[in-house]
A and B are shown apart, each in its own frame.
Chain A
């Protein structure tokens, strides 16, 4: 097994789990147009996850492909950050999280696109354009809601407060990291701060949550997400249409 396997798997799982959460919004967003926008964003993330999972499978060298890794691993084998696995049934929370996650992805992919590893550089080079749009989408909503009515301002601030404790895990050290996670903190936080300022919101002062998703220790929510995501494949192994 190539020692980079857990690192690549982590990035793949971030995208995969986030895509699954994004799909929840289909038929539930404020308007049909937003359903489609969030579904598109989820599909972009799913595309990133597929390529990264396939690559992780190669690095592992045990003959597992993208589907094996997505559908036949259990909760403790997932390496995504806890930020993306938690429910996001509030639209403000979904936009606050997308702002954080996509801004981090955009800095990460920009750095990865210059990496020596040709596969990672290729995936990142393609994905960086996608996530730039995700940041734009989230930022516009955060500004619109933050600088909107009194009620939307309160709820957008509450959403930021809810997501902020889970930000730190994105910058925690990871073995074999191609891009140093800690180095991304400065640019990511300053880009988010600019949006938060424009939205007339305050950057939260919350304490970091205890988050160990990269080690496979997750919140109670991931198991339910995986049950829904994996049950079809597991009930009908090898099914195709």
Chain B
């Protein structure tokens, strides 16, 4: 018997309202419905989240490690792109 593994899915969990979905990990599932349910069991069983996204891992286009220098290094010395010259008012937690 040939064994075909279930496809891989990437899981994103939103821990509470107002925050964005954050990558939590991956899992195997035969389709999107099962992926969502498996994600619920694997990644939110300790009440980690209020919302889940699952995405086929094959649908994600990732930057290549070979391109790291040309992609990310040029940003390294441009401190003026960081909003560090402002005073953040008190009580603003999630800027």
Contact = CB atoms under 8 A, between A and B. Distances in A.
A144 B27 CA distance: 19
Interface string A32-50: 1110110010000000000
A140 B34 contact: yes
Interface stretch (B38-46, B60-68, B75-83): B38-46
A31 interface: yes
A104 B58 CA distance: 40
Given A40-B41, A40-B45, A33 B33 contact: no
Interface of A: 31-34, 36-37, 40, 136-137, 140, 144
B29 interface: yes
A28 to B, nearest CB: 16
Given A140-B33, A140-B34, A32 B28 contact: yes
Contacts of B85: none
Interface in B1-38: 6, 27-30, 33-34, 37-38
Given A31-B6, A31-B28, A32-B28, A37 B33 contact: no
A33 B45 contact: no
Nearest to B41: A37
Give the residue among B29, B34, B42 with the most A Cβ atoms within 10 A: B34
A136 B41 CA distance: 13
Which bracket fits the contact residues of B?
A: 10 to 19
A16 to B, nearest CB: 20
A37 B42 CA distance: 8
Contacts of A32: 28
11 contacts: A31-B6, A31-B28, A33-B27, A33-B29, A33-B41, A33-B42, A36-B41, A36-B42, A40-B41, A136-B37, A140-B34
Contacts of B45: 40
Contacts of A136: 37
Contacts of B28: 31-33
Contacts of B34: 140
A221 B21 CA distance: 47
Contacts of A33: 6, 27-29, 38, 41-42
B52 to A, nearest CB: 14
Contacts of A144: 30
Contact of A137 (B29, B30, B37): B37
Give the residue among A31, A36, A136, A144 with the most B Cβ atoms within 10 A: A31
Nearest to B6: A31
Given A31-B28, A33-B42, A40-B45, 4 more contacts: A31-B6, A33-B6, A33-B28, A40-B41
